[in-house]
Amino acid sequence: MTEEVLQDSCRLLGTVLAVQANYYRVRLDSDGEMASLGDGENTRLNSSHSSLLLCTRRTRLKKIGQQVMVGDRVLVEEPDWTGQRGAIADVLPRKNQLDRPAIANVNQILLVFAVADPPLEPYQLSRFLIKAESTGLDVVLCLNKSDLITTQQQAEINQHLTNWGYEPIFISVYKSINIDDLANLLKDNITVLAGPSGVGKSSLINALIPNINLRVGEISGKLARGRHTTRHVELFDLPNGGLLADTPGFNQPDLDCTPEELAAYFPEARQRLAVARCRFSNCLHRDEPDCAVRGDWERYQHYLEFLEEAIARQSQLNQQADPESTIKVKTKGKGKHQYEPKLESKKYRQKSRRTQLQELQELYRESEE
Ligand SMILES: Nc1nc2c(ncn2[C@@H]2O[C@H](COP(=O)(O)OP(=O)(O)OP(=O)(O)O)[C@@H](O)[C@H]2O)c(=O)[nH]1
Ligand SMILES: [Zn+2]
């Protein structure tokens, strides 16, 4: 069933913002859906909170094993406007899906860094960018605390990041610089926010959603942030449209791509590969002859360093000796060791059918560990 068909029949369509026990908090689309409703049902329009319905999942969906996750577009039936209840009758096909955190239909990642305090560290920024790129989603790079640097310094940072293939948006939560521009980029999208600790993510969320404390307080007690967060996933409504999922702060995301994948996560390398080819299809762009990627681009050293890391990681996995890897050692008989996959490790099973989006799940996992 497509969205058009559903809208034609004037059913209620909405987006799942949170899942709590067996209930789904659904925000109904703001327009169009009232047309088919009879008189007396319009009370919803007069109440400021009424487009939020607490819904159950129809038995039919349970029977066919249809899960409902945060970010899902759903068809709601039997709205009770007074009690703010409803029932989810159908789930529209997902554009994409992250398993951890469980969010469907994510459009982009908003990566937040600060230009100062904490200082902008190129390698750390690269690491986050690569991790974000590996999801295959669009990446919006936002640099906060621009109030702490001069225009000249900002121009220099901007030049570097342009060389890297990005168009950063410089903001200051303190001075309300470019917050509206950023809000515009988030409009009509489902965005997942990420970035290291101390760059101003909480401050930014408060600036983007002025009533968030109130709202969050109403719904989930408090906006859990930092290392000791629950795994509760929630999408927050942005006042001008769009939904934002917050992530806890973390400092060094682990790069777990293969050596072969790495170049694709550098826009500079992608640009080079778009116009030329390496002699070898499995070129790692180090010292191979006729390499189209190797060169004096600014982050080439980052590439080499991360490549070493990826190679080391891979050989570690190949040796099957890393206890943190997906392999466990099983002691057999007289002290003989045998390696076998840890079957309880979801990570292991995901590896074999990994999509780029699943990289993001790991980004979350690291942030929680
Ligand atoms: N100068 C300046 N400081 C800011 C700005 N935005 C936030 N800060 C400060 O930066 C510090 C960290 O801000 P938070 O919002 O807690 O940062 P965070 O990214 O949420 O940090 P974690 O919760 O550790 O992930 C606080 O002292 C803020 O007041 C800004 O635009 N300019
Ligand atoms: Zn090459």
Over residues 180-236, the pLDDT tens digits come to 999 999 999 999 998 998 999 989 999 999 877 644 434 333 344 433 344 578 899
- Same fold flag, 3-93 and 98-253+320-369: no
Crossing angle of helices 300-319/122-133, nearest 10°?
60
* pLDDT for the residue numbered 74: 97
Q: Where are the beta strands (DSSP E) in the chain?
A: 12-20, 23-28, 52-57, 73-80, 85-91, 97-98, 103-104, 108-114, 138-144, 169-170, 190-194, 235-237, 243-245, 327-332, 336-341
| Alpha carbons 30 and 288: distance in angstroms, whole number | 56
Ligand of minimum distance to the alpha carbon of 288: 2
pLDDT at 227: 34
Q: Is 281 annotated among the ligand-binding residues? A: no
- Cα 366 to middle of ligand 1, angstroms: 21
- How high is the pLDDT of residue 51? 87
Give 57-93 pLDDT, tens digit per residue: 999 999 999 999 999 999 999 999 999 999 999 999 9
* DSSP class of 356: T
The beta strands (E) that lie in 58-216 are given as 73-80, 85-91, 97-98, 103-104, 108-114, 138-144, 169-170, 190-194
CA of 281, nearest ligand number:
2
- Indicate whether this complex's ipTM tops 0.85: yes
Q: How far apart are CA 253 and CA 368, in angstroms?
A: 11
The CATH fold of domain 3-93: OB fold (Dihydrolipoamide Acetyltransferase, E2P) (2.40.50)
Rg of the chain in Å (alpha carbons): 23
Q: Whose CA is nearest to atom 3 of ligand 1?
A: 145
Count Cβ atoms within 10 A of the Cβ of residue 246 and give its class: 0-12 exposed, 13-18 middle, 19 or more buried. buried
Per the annotation, does 201 bind a ligand? yes
| pLDDT number for residue 79 | 93
Is 146 known as a binding-site position? Answer: yes
Pocket of ligand 1 (CB under 6 A): 144-145, 147-148, 172-174, 197-203, 225-226, 249
Element (H, E) at 157: helix 151-163
Q: How far apart, in whole angstroms, are the C-alpha atoms of residue 97 and residue 86? A: 24
Q: What is the pLDDT of residue 322?
A: 53
Q: Provide the pLDDT for residue 31.
A: 56
In angstroms, the CA 108 to CA 182 distance is: 13
| Whole-number Å distance between alpha carbons of 120 and 100 | 28
Q: What is the reported pLDDT for 42? A: 41
**pLDDT of the residue at 2:** 55
Give SS3 for 80: strand
Q: Considering only CA atoms, which of 248, 256, 218, 217 is closest in space to residue 232? A: 248
Report residue 183 as tokens. Answer: 């809000």
CA 127, CA 257: separation in Å to the nearest integer?
A: 12
Domain limits of the chain? 3-93, 98-253+320-369
Q: Name the residue of 193, 199, 212 to mutate for ligand 1: max ligand atoms within 8 A of Cβ.
A: 199
Q: What's the pLDDT score for residue 271?
A: 97
Residue 155 Cα to ligand 1 midpoint, Å, equals 22
Which of 173, 209, 213, 225 best tests ligand 1's pocket when mutated (most atoms within 8 Å of CB)?
Answer: 173
Atom of ligand 1 nearest to the CA of 226: 23
Q: Which pLDDT score is estimated for 102?
A: 79
Residues 6+ apart with CB under 8 A from 195: 111, 112, 113, 128, 201, 249
Q: What was the pLDDT predicted at 363?
A: 55
Is 296 among the annotated ligand-binding positions?
no
Q: Identify the nearest ligand to the CA of 179 by its number.
A: 1
CA of 2 to the centre of ligand 2 (A): 43
Rounded distance, CA 251 to CA 367, Å? 8
Low-confidence ranges of the chain (pLDDT < 50): 7-9, 32-49, 214-230, 325, 327-354, 356, 369
Q: Which tokens hold the place of 298?
A: 């600014």
pLDDT at 233: 81
Say what the alpha-carbon torsion angle 72, 74, 188, 10 is, to the nearest 10 degrees. 170
Find residue 143's DSSP bridge partners: 113, 170
CA of 285 to the centre of ligand 2 (A): 3
- What burial letters (b/e) apply to 32-63, b meaning 16+ CB within 10 Å? ebeeeeeeeeeebeeeeeebbbebbbbeebee
Query: What number does CATH give the domain 98-253+320-369?
Result: 3.40.50.300
